[in-house]
Every structure is written in C-alpha cells, then in structure tokens.
Chain A
Amino acid sequence: EAQVTQNPRYLITVTGKKLTVTCSQNMNHEYMSWYRQDPGLGLRQIYYSMNVEVTDKGDVPEGYKVSRKEKRNFPLILESPSPNQTSLYFCASRGQAYGYTFGSGTRLTVV
C-alpha cells in the first residue's frame, strides 16, 4: 500500500532534549515536505526536499533541521525543542497526479 509513515504518533518531551521524528515513503517520490499545524494558523511548511541531498527552508524553519540521505526517508530533527514547538506535525510526499500524500501526523508536546 502506498503510504507515508511517521513515527512516533505522540511524543511528550522536555525543553532542550533533542528529538527526531521519522518519515518514510514507499512511492519513490522525489519531493518530500514537513508541515506543522496550529489552531488558527493552518498548515505551514517547515522544510522541503526536492531530492536526495537537496533540502530547503519553508515558511517556518527556525528550530528545525532535516536531512535527506535516502530517497524514502526525510527525518525532522529538533536539536533543542522549546514549548512553542508544541504542535501537530505532518510529513508529506508529492506525486505528479494526486498532489501530496500525508503521513498520519505526530502530536508533539514540549514541556
């Protein structure tokens, strides 16, 4: 089944403790992206990647890092999480015909 898999689904962490949210897709898509969703603000792009080793900032990149060493994986790294990064995160990959396919989301709480 074609899908985007994110892990974990839920995460509670403390300020400053490095964490990684993994994202993997099995559709051989070149384009992948991370979004965060906050009430009243909608979905905002954090980082995107057009292919292996090619990444760029989206609209809200501060406090995040990404890497794209393999085509299928696009992890999101928070080196020093802060409470304002508490949010719902989505990974997505893009095909040609059907727009983006989203992962199931990661609910992150930073205390």
Chain B
Amino acid sequence: EDKVVQSPLSLVVHEGDTVTLNCSYEVTNFRSLLWYKQEKKAPTFLFMLTSSGIEKKSGRLSSILDKKELFSILNITATQTGDSAIYLCALLNYGGSQGNLIFGKGTKLSVKP
C-alpha cells in the first residue's frame, strides 16, 4: 500500500532558526513528490520533485528528493513567524487513479518571535 510518513508531527522553533522537515514514502509507481504549505485554509503549492538529487529552491525554502532511500526533506532557513503553518508532503503515483495525491499527516511548524 502506498503511504507517506512525515516527521516530526509538530515542531516549535524561534525566529531565525533553520528547520528540516522529513518525508519518507513507500510507493509502487512513483511519479512525483510534492510539498504544500497550509496556513488557515487551502494548501498552497511549494515544490514538485521528480528527480533524485536536484534541489529546488524558492527564497528561504528548499527541497530535495532521494529516490533510492525513498525520502525527501524540506529546509527552511532563517525562519520567520509567517512560516508558521502545516507542511504537507504528498505522493503522486502512476497507479490506477492516474494521478492520485497521497498525503502525509503533515508537520505543524510554529515559529515564535
């Protein structure tokens, strides 16, 4: 059964800290791994990772995928209070649903001033 496991489930840091969020997965037919940020309502897209070892960056956020060890990390440097959110990792597979997103339970990040 395809699944996504995120760790930690919650994390409290202070502004300026660097955090690393983890996502491990098991999948039959891997297509892509996606990261989302969810603040008050709808998840918003951060990154889509398809190839191993290629870092995606957007400002203070970066992510990388290891398809051999079946995990991805999301790094946030110099955290700000506005980074407080739930970060979701999701797997896009080639299974019968032709593109079903399988979500992890998320990591709740709280950044204190």
Contacts and interface: CB of A to CB of B under 8 A. Distances in A.
Contacts of A50: 98-99
Interface residues of B, number: 21
A43 B88 contact: yes
A78 B101 CA distance: 23
B100 interface: yes
Contacts, number: 57
Chain A interface secondary structure, helix, strand, loop or mixed? Answer: strand
Contact of B43 (A45, A94, A102): A102
Contacts of B99: 31, 50, 94
Nearest to B47: A99
B103 A43 contact: yes
Contacts of B102: 45
Contacts of A94: 99, 101
B45 A98 contact: yes
Contacts of A41: 105
A92 B34 CA distance: 14
Contacts of A44: 103
The 5 nearest A-B residue pairs measured at CB: A102-B42, A42-B105, A43-B103, A99-B34, A105-B41
Given A42-B103, A99-B90, A99-B101, 12 more contacts: A33-B101, A48-B100, A50-B99, A56-B97, A58-B97, A98-B45, A99-B45, A99-B92, A100-B45, A101-B45, A102-B43, A104-B41
Interface of A: 31, 33, 35, 40-45, 48, 50, 56, 58, 90, 92, 94, 97-105
7 contacts: A35-B103, A42-B88, A50-B98, A90-B43, A99-B45, A99-B92, A102-B43
